[in-house]
């Protein structure tokens, strides 16, 4: 995990809380100095001079909404990565990742996509991501039941979620949209710690002859191999 000023301060806060649980009280300044010593430096002044602040994350981009199982634990919004306009998701400093994930997403009327093979593409980048960052697409019926879905979690390492630290890589999902689809949902999500960026999202018809990226998701037309042969 890349150490920033905000994350160093969050570590100092955690350190103080842990020591207080052991009836050892120190000031915030003393905790910061201890964090510096753990980094092999003399004190907080030396460490803070070497650290960079977190990449600023702005408001939500127009048309996108926050979601996830615990979105309040994440920062989400517009962000620049180098000179590229993008959206970013980041676990807040001091928060424990656990199994939490957060997503920036859109939901659109699926009428014009019914019976079509659609392609979602996007460029992803990562900084010290411990879980993964990926794009996803899902179709729901009128009862909000999922009728088609892919998030590349079952794809290979060169086609699936991005982990660790990575420059821009492109990912794509090819998904058949059933005739019963009512809404089409798509976006990108972050699992775990780190910072995830997404840019250049596009939703298009898949080129002729392109296979779906997730196989085995459609029900078989009839029962098969009931004798386990």
Flag whether 127 is in a domain: yes
Domain that holds residue 25: 5-50
Same domain, yes or no: 103 and 38: no
Q: Is residue 228 situated within a structural domain? A: no
Query: How many structural domains does the chain have?
Result: 2
Let me know whether 93 and 195 are in one domain: yes
Give tens-digit pLDDT for 27-45: 989 999 998 999 999 998 8
| 212 in a structural domain | no
Same domain for 34 and 126?
Answer: no
Q: Identify whether residues 71 and 169 lie together within a single domain.
A: yes
- Does 220 map to a domain? no
The verdict on 160 and 97 lying in the same domain is yes
Q: Quick one: what percent of the chain has pLDDT higher than 70?
A: 94
Query: What is the three-state SS of the chain?
Result: CCCCHHHHHHHHHHHHHHHHHCCCCCCHHHHHHHHHHHCCCCCHHHHHHHCCCCCCCCCCCCCCEEEECCHHHEEEEEEEECCEEEEEEEECCCCCCCCCEEEEEEEEECHHHCCCEEEEEEEEEEEEEEEEEEEEEEEECCCCCEEEEECCCCCCCCCCCEEEEEEEEEEEEEEECCCCCCEEEEEEEEECCCEEEEEEEEEEECCCCCCCCCCCCCCCCCCCCCCCC
Same domain, 89 and 154: yes
78 with 45, same domain: the answer is no
Are 181 and 128 members of one domain?
yes
Determine how many CB atoms are found less than 10 A away from the CB of residue 146.
11
pTM: 0.75
- Model confidence at 95, pLDDT cuts 50, 70, 90, reads confident
DSSP letters, 45-64, are HHHHHHPPPPPP--SPPTT-
Which CATH number belongs to the domain containing residue 193 in this structure?
2.60.120.260
Element (H, E) at 228: none
Whether 118 and 25 map to the same domain: the answer is: no
Q: What angle do CA 129, 31, 70 make, to 5 degrees?
A: 35
Q: What pLDDT is attached to residue 117?
A: 97
pLDDT, averaged across the chain: 89
Quick check: is 134 in a domain?
Answer: yes
Shared-domain flag, residues 96 and 200: yes
Of the given ranges (20-29, 158-167, 215-224), which has the lowest mean pLDDT?
Answer: 215-224
Read off the pLDDT of residues 127-154 as tens digits, 9 standing for 90 and up: 888 899 999 999 999 999 999 999 999 9
Does one domain contain both 38 and 76?
no
The verdict on residue 128 lying in a domain is yes
CA angle (160 as vertex; 191, 113 as ends), nearest 5: 95
Torsion region of 131: left, alpha or beta (phi above 0 gives left; psi -120 to 50 gives alpha) = alpha
Question: 162-176 and 117-140 as β-strands: parallel, antiparallel, unpaired?
Answer: antiparallel
Q: In this structure, are 82 and 155 located in the same domain?
A: yes
């Amino acid at each position: 995990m890349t150490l920033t000023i905000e994350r160093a301060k969050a570590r100092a806060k955690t350190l103080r809380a842990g020591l207080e649980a052991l009836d050892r009280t120190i000031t915030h300044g003393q905790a910061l100095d201890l964090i510096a010593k753990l980094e092999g430096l003399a004190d907080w002044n030396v460490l803070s001079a070497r650290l960079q602040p977190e990449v600023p994350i702005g408001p939500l981009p127009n048309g996108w909404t926050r979601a996830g199982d615990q979105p309040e634990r994440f920062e989400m919004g517009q962000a620049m990565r180098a000179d590229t306009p993008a959206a970013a998701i980041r676990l807040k400093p001091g928060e424990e990742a656990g199994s939490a994930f957060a997503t920036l997403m859109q939901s659109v009327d699926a009428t014009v996509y019914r019976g079509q093979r659609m392609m979602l593409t996007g460029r992803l980048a990562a900084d010290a991501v411990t879980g993964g960052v990926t794009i996803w697409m899902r179709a729901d019926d009128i009862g909000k039941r999922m009728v088609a879905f892919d998030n590349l979690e079952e794809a290979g390492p060169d086609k699936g979620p991005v982990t660790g630290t990575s420059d821009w890589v492109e990912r794509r999902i090819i998904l058949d949209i059933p005739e019963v689809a009512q809404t089409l949902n798509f976006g990108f999500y972050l699992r775990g710690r780190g910072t995830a960026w997404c840019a250049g999202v596009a939703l298009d018809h898949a080129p002729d002859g392109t296979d779906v990226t997730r196989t085995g998701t459609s029900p078989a037309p009839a029962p098969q191999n009931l004798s386990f042969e």
